Structure formats: C-alpha cells, structure tokens
Amino acid sequence: MTTTTASAGPAPAAAPPPDPAPTPPGHPTAPPLPAPVAPLYERVRAGREFGANVRSTVDVLWVLYDRILRVTPQTVDDPGRDRFLLSKGHAVAGYYAVLAAKGFVPADWLDDQGGPHSLLGDHPDRMLVPGVEIGSGSLGHGLGLGVGTALGLRAQGLLTPRVHVLLGDAELDEGSNHEAIAYAGATGLGSLTAIVVDNGSATHGWSGGAAARFTVNGWTAATVDGHDHDALHTALTGHDNHRPHVVVAVVDQGE
Amino acid sequence: MRNRFVETTTELLARDPRTALVLADISADAFTPAFDRHPDRVLNVGIREQLLVGVAGGLALTGLRPIAHSYAPFLIERAYEQIKLDLDHQGVHAVLVSIGASYDRAESGRTHLSPADVSLVDTLHGWTVHVPGHPDEVPALLRDAVAADGSAYLRLSTLHNARPYGGDGALRVLRDAGPGAPLLVAVGPVLDAALAAVGDLGVTVAYTHRPRPFDTAGLRALAGDAVILVEPYLAGTSARVVSAALADRPHRLLALGVGREELRRYGSAEDHTRWHGVDAAGLRRSVAGFLAAAPVPAGR
C-alpha cells in the first residue's frame, strides 16, 4: 500500500499494477468479499457472470458504509446526513449488496435484479431505491452534483455532513469532471471527497497518476490499495476540511 | 429584460434564503451586489456550463431553489444532458433563465444563436416555458416560477413588444374577429408584428408568454377551422401541441417562426426577423397566402 498526501504539484504515481496474469473467469485476484456482503452479492449475481469491475468497488463501498458515512436507513432523509454519490453508476451489484447488508433495502429486493418488477436497475435510480443519493449511469455527472450538494449544505449552515463521490479512472475521461475538479479546488470546497477506483481502464491512461489531476487544482490526495480496508479508512479520513480531498483506490488492471 | 431579471433575482435572494443563483460568468458583473450580500447562494462557477447545471441539481438535492443563468445556447444546448439527468432524472427542479434568444446578437454568428432552445426543453416532461414579450412581464413571471416547485425555463430577449401584457399565460384575445374567424396565436415578442400583419385580414389574435404548458383549453375555445402560430423560435415548435388539442376537429394549421437553415449572415436582430419572415410584412404574406388557399383545393 502507498499512502500519500499532497497539496500541490505532481502526485506520486499510482502503485503500478502487477503484470496481468491470465485469470480464469470467476476466480478474481481480489481478496474475498467482506463477510456480511458476500452472500448478498451472490444473491444479486444469481449465477450470472459479472465483469471483474463489478467486484472492484465492493471494498471501498464496504469501508464507506461500515466505517465512514454517517448515514443509516433511519436517516436517509436527514438534512445532516453524510452523502454518498455513486457517479460511476455501472457495476452496481456490490452497491446493492452493501445497501442490503446495511439495511437500506430489503434483501429480497436483490432477487431478479434488473427484471421487469425490480427496483434495482443496472444503473441505480434515487427515486426508486432508499439510500441512493443520485441516479447515475451516464458517466461524468456525479462530481458536479456532489459539488452542488456540498455548496447547498454549506449555504444552509450544515457544516458537518461530508459529500463523497465515487468515480472510475475511465470516467475521468469525461470533461465535466474537470469542470468540477477545477472549481472545487479553486474555491476550497473542503467538505467534498472524491474517490477514484483506478483499475487502469482509461483508454489513454492518466500519465502521472489520476491523483495529479486533482492535486494540481489544490486538492489533497491519497493513493492506496483499493482492497486494503485499513488503508482506505486512513485515506478516507485524511481530509483537512479546507480543501477537497481525493482518494485514489488502486485495484488490479481490468478488475 | 436582463435588467429586470437581475433586479428581481437580487430581490428574491434577499427575501428567501432558499433561493440560490448559479452563473457561468455571463451576467456575473450585474450580480456583484447580490454576491456581496449572499456569497454562499450566488455562485459563479466560471465558464463551465455542465457544472452550472450540475451544481443547480446538487443545490436542489439539498432543498434549495436554484436559478441557473447563461446565454441560451450554452445553458440549454451545451448542458442539455445535465438538464435531462442532473435535474429531471434526479427528481429535482430549477429555474433556468437565458438571454440571447434566437438571434439577439446576430452579428456574433451561429455560435450565439439559439432558435432550438424551446424545442429542446420541449423534449422534457413537465417544464413550464415562459417567453416574455416585454421587460415588464419578467418580474412577475420570475417570481411565480421561483415560488413554484417545478422546473421552468425563462427565455429573455432584447426584442419586445411596445407594451406588456400580464396574466398567467392563458391565451389573451387582443383582436377579436368574431366566431369562426381564423385564430392567430403569437408567443412573446412577435406579437406586435403579428398584430400589424393581420390588421385588415379578419383574423382573431391571441397572445401568450407561456408556450408550455400551452393553454389548450383556451385554444379550443377560440379556434375555428384555421389556426396560425407565430413563435419567436423554431417554426412549428408548438405545432404538435395545437394538433393534439384539435385532433377531433378538421382544421388547418400554419406554423411560422424561425427557420432551421443556418443563414450564415450577420446583421441585426431586425434583419434576421425579416429574413425568417416573422416581421409584419413577412407574416402578412404567409398568412394571406394561407387564408387564400381554399380549404379543399384539390385540382384547383
């Protein structure tokens, strides 16, 4: 694991991914799923083959909901709750499993996910699913919504809630993110945390590391192993409340 | 109209702590006093229109009532997906206020022309669209839009009629040619030209500054078998609404407005009004031709 914090200038490169080894389908290189999530994840999966990218966000999501976010099924409408915005609306099986593990949705909602009577689409819809803060799926919308959410909370004197937005490294290709990154950094939006799950899937890569796109705009940054729960916890609590903070969670390439 | 928008928004920001304003540099200077008083609720994101609407969506998610403002093509066309997803799909609402209209700054060329904005907003569900025809119509329309809960688009222009008309957007008859007469509906700033065009043609003229939701009940009450629409944006934008409202009646419809062709000409807004045939002379030619055509002219 590498944990780095920087306020300006080029960030250290993300941990280089190991050489991709041929991995049989269904045998990901990632560690086992968190125990409370595993059976629910399998219930969503229902025997379907998911891409490795579905698995790659589960550890981050679990650490967020288990150790970071001040939100419960009873406080999903509380103005003072922490916000979690899944911008990368793809690969949501783990998200639904974590929401079920924490009691936001009943476990039987996980059956027939994506079916004609299901409330759980392949992209989440905040109007259908309790605890889901935004509907997403089209890449590049979550960070702008997160900036607006942070500004709206501040304007109402709600200074405790933190706004977390989860993106993918390939999602950073969308220019809308860079509008939000530059503005949040320039205005010192200290209640905002972006989490970039970096599986090396951006077609043209991010030379110098994904974190550099943020730090050059005045964000603090930490780049960590995306499966290491303690490292994720440290990184996700490493903000200084004066500048926006980014956590780059590195997972295996293509995962 | 922009001045009235700035005055009214500044007043709303002072009166209601739920109101917020998001800018993308356009008109930022005019809002400096408001920013000085409410720095947390007057937000200029720079020249970033995707973020402009995204931030409006985020503000609305926290319970604020955002007004987002920019030049029409940048607010509606560039940020269309943000309007669709960051507002509508999230189930939250905002008031969008544009300037520039179809060709207010004709000398700036195609990049600053936005004749398609109302059509684009019309692809969405549940939006109210206001097209004021006079600066004095703006304050009440803006106040009502902000006080309401839904999403609204206010399309401001430098073009306007000689006098304002109040009301809530229900069709207002300004010239009554009697039962069964052809009905001309003028939207916003094209009214004066329409009135001048049909002065002696026996046409009833009705006005609205609210093309969405269109006053279909008023239309059904006023319409005979010939309807003429005159709109200051893409010709035919409201044709589908009129056709649907009159689907059970034989009728003819002439839909006039701004053409789709890129003219690649500069000049003034008045020049473009003439070139698109929505000046008094052009409207008169079109309407006279429409009325002269026999209702069932086969073989004539």
Instruction: Decide if B166 is inside a domain.
Output: no
Assigned domain for A28 exists = no
3-state helix, strand, coil in chain A (%, to 5): 30, 10, 55
Tell me whether residue B209 is in a domain.
yes
What is the tens place of the pLDDT at every residue in A67-113? 999 999 999 999 999 999 999 988 799 999 999 999 999 999 999 99
Let me know whether B23 and B135 are in one domain.
yes
State whether residue B46 sits within 8 Å of chain A by CB: yes
In a domain? residue A14: no
CB pairs under 8 A between A and B: 102
* Same-domain check for residues B144 and B286: no
A242, part of any domain? yes
Q: Which residues contact A215 (CB under 8 A, 6 or more apart)?
A: A6, A7, A8, A9, A10, A11, A221, A246
The answer to the question of residue A17 being in a domain is: no
Tell whether B180 and B138 lie within a shared domain.
no
Cβ count within 10 A of residue A18: 9
- Domain presence at residue A6: no
Banded model confidence at residue A10, pLDDT cuts 50, 70, 90: very low
Among B42, B50, B93, the residue to mutate for chain A (most A Cβ within 10 A): B50
Q: Give the helix ranges, DSSP H, for A156-193.
A: 175-186
Q: Which of B41, B48, B54 sits opposite A155 (nearest CB)?
A: B41
Residues B12 and B46 in one domain: yes
Mean pLDDT, residues A115-127 taken together: 96
In a domain, A99, yes or no: yes
B275 in a domain, yes or no? yes
Beta bridge partners of B122: none
The CATH code of the domain that includes A55 is: 3.40.50.970
B126 and B94 in a common domain: yes
d(CA A26, nearest CA chain B) in Å: 34
Spacing of C-alpha A4 from chain mean position: 19
Concatenated DSSP letters of A16-84: PPPPPPP--TT--SSPPPPTTTHHHHHHHHTTPPPPHHHHHTHHHHHHIIIII----GGGTT-TTS-EE
**CB of B68 closer than 8 Å to CB of B96:** yes
| Shared domain check, B183 and B140 | no
* B58 closest CB neighbour out of A140, A147, A179: A147
For residues A111 and A43, is the Cβ–Cβ distance under 8 A? yes
What's A180-219 look like in SS3? HHHHHHHCCCCCEEEEEEECCCCCCCCCCCCHHHHHCCCC
d(C-alpha A64, C-alpha A131), whole Å:
13
Whether residue B288 is contained in a domain is answered as: yes
Check: CB of residue A2 under 8 Å from CB of residue A223: yes
pLDDT at residue A4 greater than cutoff 80: no
How far apart CA B137 and CA B2 sit, in angstroms, is 12
Q: Determine the residue type at B234.
A: L
Residues B142 and B183 in one domain: no
pTM, two decimals, is 0.93
Residue B139 resides in a domain: yes
- For residues B148 and B280, state if they share a domain: no
Tell me the shortest Cα–Cα distance from A192 to chain B, in angstroms: 12
Residue A176 has its nearest CB partner, among B17, B43, B51, at B51
Task: Decide: B20 and B12 in contact? Cβ < 8 Å.
Answer: no
Exposed / middle / buried, residue B242 (Cβ in 10 Å: 0-12, 13-18, 19+): buried
Q: How many CA atoms lie within 13 A of B94 on its CB side?
A: 34
Q: Which domain holds residue A236?
A: 38-250
Nearest one of A218, A48, A79 to A160, comparing CA atoms: A79
CA end-to-end distance (rounded Å), chain B = 48
Residue B225 lies in a domain: yes
Cβ–Cβ of A179/B62 closer than 8 Å?
no
pLDDT of residue A14: 46
Q: What is the pLDDT of residue B83?
A: 98
Tokens of residue B85, six digits: 């997803």
**Mutation target vs B (from A123, A156, A181; most B CBs, 10 A cutoff):** A156
Q: Among partner residues B48, B89, B91, which is closest to A179 by beta-carbon distance?
A: B48
Q: Please tell me whether residues B118 and B187 are part of one structural domain.
A: no
Tell me which of B87, B121, B155 is where a domain ends: B155
Tokens describing residue A127: 């109007």
pLDDT digit string, tens, across residues A15-57: 444 444 444 344 446 789 999 999 999 999 999 988 888 888 9
Distance CA(A72)–CA(A84), nearest Å, equals 12
User: Does B147 share its domain with B207?
Assistant: no
- Is A13 inside any structural domain? no
Question: Hey, what are A150's tokens?
Answer: 């942070």
* Interchain pair B57, A133: CB under 8 A: no
- ipTM score of the complex? 0.95
Domain with B224 in it: 172-292
pLDDT at B2 (0 to 100): 96
Compute the distance between CA of residue A124 and CA of residue A92 in angstroms, rounded to an integer. 7
CB of B26 less than 8 A from some CB of A: no
Separation CA B62–CA B44 (nearest Å): 18
Residues B143 and B276 in one domain: no
Q: Do B62 and A156 touch (CB under 8 A)?
A: yes
How many structural domains is chain B composed of?
Answer: 2
CB of A120 within 8 A of CB of A131?
A: no
The verdict on residue B255 lying in a domain is yes
Chain centre to alpha carbon of residue A196:
6
Burial A144-164 (b: 16+ CB within 10 A, else e): bbbbbbbbbbbbbebeebbbb
Report if residue A7 sits inside a domain: no
Number of domains in chain A: 1
User: Which pLDDT score is estimated for A8?
Assistant: 42
User: Pick from B88, B122, B155: which residue ends a domain?
Assistant: B155
d(CA A220, CA A242): 9
Tell me which H or E stretch contains B129: strand B128-130
Which residues of chain A are within 8 Å of residue B22 when distances are taken between CB atoms?
148
| Cα A106 to Cα A123: distance, rounded to the nearest angstrom | 18
Per-residue pLDDT of chain B (300 residues; tens, 9 = 90+): 999 999 999 999 999 999 999 999 999 999 999 999 999 999 999 999 999 999 999 999 999 999 999 999 999 999 999 999 999 999 999 999 999 999 999 999 999 999 999 999 999 999 999 999 999 999 999 999 999 999 999 999 999 999 999 899 999 999 999 999 999 999 999 999 999 999 999 999 999 999 999 999 999 999 999 999 999 999 999 999 999 999 999 999 999 999 999 999 999 999 999 999 999 999 999 999 999 985 544 444
Min distance B73 CA to chain A CA atoms (Å): 17
Of B155, B183, B202, which closes a domain? B155
* Predicted local distance difference test score (pLDDT) of residue B295: 55
B247 and B142 housed in the same domain: no
| Any A CB within 8 A of B67 CB | no
What average pLDDT does chain A have?
Answer: 90
CATH number for the domain spanning B110: value is 3.40.50.970
Q: B63: left (phi > 0), else alpha (psi -120 to 50), else beta?
A: left
| B210: CB partners within 8 A, 6+ apart | B128, B129, B130, B131, B141, B168, B169
CATH number at residue B213: 3.40.50.920
